[in-house]
């Protein structure tokens, strides 16, 4: 399951993440404003938000083998259609709606649910390994996409990418994907040795808070607020990082390579963060890696072509930090809300992340278009890191306990 999730995120997640590379090529061809062009990514995050609860509910009800192949088909159509863009509304529909709908059905939410269903005691480590696929995919695909754009143009690059998505993911998710272990009379990896796959045990493991019960918990609303601010910060930085480095004088191919380098360190951060999170606690691990990410953004602010050390420092520190904190946050949500309705609950929380991620790129572009600089936006991202650490300590006691169904605490 970990290998399948990792490869799915490598191809599907990197396809969604490739917008940062296509963004610059599209700007150069059409000369649209940065805010208007980046709004395509914002729309995709709104679609992600709208689809999140639906995808979670579909997974709870029908399982991965019925949901994910549909996502591959929609994603392929969106990628191929993007090669024919000639106006903003087409960019918004093909990338912002179609591609986002497809990715939501095969991307982060589905794979967190799959790993959470198959793993118990080592859940964070398994999530970290699975999420490492996205970093590895970005490391490999982003430079290749940039090379394709420079050699055959961005339109043909989209055609090649669409073919890759379908050829790799459709057979993988129709033939090799599996359902929940409890439905097959199996136990999760890491369950106690005396765990039984009997019917009453299956029912017990399916229990958990419903969405209304979860919404009576302060943890739920704190996680929603964290989702908004973290989504805005990370997506704003991701979409505009390559353009920012291009603005201050770095070659575009180097900027794309830095993005790929950050992705590989994000993969490592997810694995290492998951390991330490399982051993030393969610909040402590989140804090340490948030400090690394904070330092990475400071390095990016300080960078210049004459001192390239700083952009490499950004790639390493921010990559490690973002990878680890994402894994820890997802694991914490599974710790608290795991049960028969976890897919729906997780989808709703991710909706708030999507809302923040929708606002982030647009606001970052608007700040640049208005002030002529990205500096205030980058400073705002530093503040977001501080607020996120405070929030995670509110949500996660030292010993994580699932919320009480009666009291909602």
Q: What is the pLDDT of residues 276-311, one digit of tens each?
A: 988 888 889 999 999 999 999 999 998 887 778 899
d(CA 279, CA 123): 11
pLDDT band at 99, cuts 50/70/90?
very high
pTM of the model: 0.70
Average pLDDT, rounded, for the chain: 82
Whole-number pLDDT of residue 186 = 47
Checking if the pLDDT of 121 tops 80, the result is no
Q: Are 310 and 282 in contact (CB under 8 A)?
A: no
Whole-number pLDDT of residue 202 = 42
pLDDT band at 384, cuts 50/70/90?
very high
Checking if the pLDDT of 327 tops 90, the result is no
Whole-number pLDDT of residue 179 = 59
pLDDT band at 220, cuts 50/70/90?
very high
Read off the pLDDT of each residue in 139-154 and give the average, rounded to a whole number: 87
Checking if the pLDDT of 343 tops 70, the result is yes
Cβ neighbour number for residue 298 with a 10 Å cutoff: 18
Question: Among the listed ranges 33-42, 344-353, 393-402, which one has the minimum average pLDDT value?
Answer: 393-402
Highest mean pLDDT among 10-24, 51-65, 352-366: 352-366
Read off the pLDDT of each residue in 380-391 and give the average, rounded to a whole number: 94
Whole-number pLDDT of residue 84 = 94
- Angle, helix 64-82 to helix 154-171, in steps of 10 degrees: 170
pLDDT band at 177, cuts 50/70/90?
low
Q: Which residue has the higher pLDDT, 300 or 50?
A: 300
Whole-number pLDDT of residue 35 = 82
Checking if the pLDDT of 382 tops 90, the result is yes
Highest mean pLDDT among 121-135, 209-223, 379-393: 379-393
Read off the pLDDT of each residue in 99-112 and give the average, rounded to a whole number: 83
Read off the pLDDT of each residue in 31-51 and give the average, rounded to a whole number: 85
Tokens of 370: 């208005």
Checking if the pLDDT of 128 tops 80, the result is no
Checking if the pLDDT of 340 tops 90, the result is no
Checking if the pLDDT of 109 tops 50, the result is yes
Q: Are 256 and 146 in contact (CB under 8 A)?
A: yes
pLDDT band at 207, cuts 50/70/90?
low
List of domains in the chain: 2-181+207-395 (1.20.1250.20)
Checking if the pLDDT of 198 tops 50, the result is no
Question: Among the listed ranges 67-76, 114-123, 214-223, 290-299, which one has the minimum average pLDDT value?
Answer: 114-123
pLDDT band at 203, cuts 50/70/90?
very low
Read off the pLDDT of each residue in 66-78 and give the average, rounded to a whole number: 90
């Amino acid at each position: 399951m970990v290998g399948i999730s990792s490869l799915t995120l490598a191809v599907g997640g990197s396809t969604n993440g490739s917008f940062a590379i296509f963004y610059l090529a599209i700007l150069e061809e059409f000369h649209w404003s940065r805010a208007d062009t980046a709004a395509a990514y914002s729309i995709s995050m709104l679609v992600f938000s709208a689809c999140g609860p639906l995808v979670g509910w579909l997974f709870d009800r029908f399982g991965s083998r019925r949901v994910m192949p549909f996502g591959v088909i929609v994603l392929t159509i969106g990628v191929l259609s993007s090669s024919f863009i000639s106006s903003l509304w087409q960019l918004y529909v093909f990338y912002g709606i179609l591609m986002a709908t497809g990715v939501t059905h095969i991307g982060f939410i589905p794979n967190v649910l799959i790993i959470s269903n198959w793993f118990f005691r080592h859940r964070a480590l398994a999530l970290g390994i699975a999420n490492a696929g996205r970093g590895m995919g970005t490391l490999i695909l982003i430079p290749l996409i940039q090379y394709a754009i420079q050699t055959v143009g961005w339109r043909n690059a989209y055609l090649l990418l669409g073919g890759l998505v379908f050829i790799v993911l459709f057979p993988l998710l129709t033939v090799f994907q599996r359902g929940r272990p409890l439905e097959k009379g199996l136990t999760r990896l890491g369950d106690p040795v005396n765990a039984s796959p009997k019917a009453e045990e299956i029912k017990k493991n399916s229990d958990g808070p419903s969405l209304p019960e979860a919404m009576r918990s302060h943890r739920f609303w704190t996680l929603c607020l964290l989702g908004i601010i973290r989504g805005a910060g990370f997506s704003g930085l991701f979409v505009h990082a390559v353009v920012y480095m291009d603005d201050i004088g770095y070659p575009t191919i180097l900027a794309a390579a830095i993005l790929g380098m950050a992705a590989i360190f994000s993969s490592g951060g997810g694995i290492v963060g998951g390991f330490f999170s399982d051993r030393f606690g969610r909040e402590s691990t989140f804090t340490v890696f948030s400090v690394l990410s904070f330092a990475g953004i400071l390095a990016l602010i300080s960078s210049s072509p004459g001192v390239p050390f700083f952009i490499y420092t950004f790639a390493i520190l921010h990559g490690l930090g973002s990878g680890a904190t994402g894994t820890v946050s997802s694991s914490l949500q599974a710790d608290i809300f795991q049960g028969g309705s976890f897919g729906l609950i997780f989808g709703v929380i991710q909706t708030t992340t999507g809302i923040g991620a929708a606002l982030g790129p647009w606001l970052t572009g608007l700040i640049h278009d208005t002030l002529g600089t990205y500096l205030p936006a980058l400073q705002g991202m530093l503040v977001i890191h501080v607020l996120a650490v405070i929030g995670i300590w509110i949500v996660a006691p030292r010993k994580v306990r699932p919320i009480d169904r009666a009291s909602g605490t």
